[in-house]
Amino acid sequence: MTRRSTGPLTGIFTKPPEIMADILSSREFFSGGPAAGLRVLTVYMAYASRRLSVAQKHSLERAKEMLVDRTRKTEVERA
């Protein structure tokens, strides 16, 4: 998994879930597409879960659900 730069991802986890999912599923930032973005989000959730508010956790869970759906759609398109 490669990223072009670290700049565009600054503050991504404070954005609304729809925008988070769009950025994390973009091949512009992650060569692995939605699956790579899902891994990044999962690691962040595990790392930061103790210091997040309930609203932030809910927002991250919503973004995770959206990424899972996009990953499944990508797998179906490849088959």
Structural domain harbouring 72: 15-78
Average pLDDT over all residues of the chain = 86
Q: How many domains does the chain divide into?
A: 1
Task: Give the pLDDT of residue 32.
Answer: 84
Residue 53 lies in a domain: yes
Residue 63 lies in a domain: yes
**At CA 11, angle to CA 7 and CA 15, rounded to 5?**
130
Q: pTM to 2 decimals?
A: 0.80
Task: Give the pLDDT of residue 1.
Answer: 54
Of residues 33 and 60, the one with the higher pLDDT is 60
Give which of 7, 70, 15, 10 is closest to 38, Cα–Cα.
70
Q: What residue has token string 């091949």?
A: 27
Cβ pair 66, 37 in contact under 8 A? no
Distance CA 17, CA 12 (A): 10
Compute the average pLDDT of residues 55-68.
95
Residue 9 lies in a domain: no
Residue 73 lies in a domain: yes
Residue 2 lies in a domain: no
Quick check: 24 pLDDT over 60?
A: yes
Residue 24 lies in a domain: yes
Token representation of residue 27: 């091949």
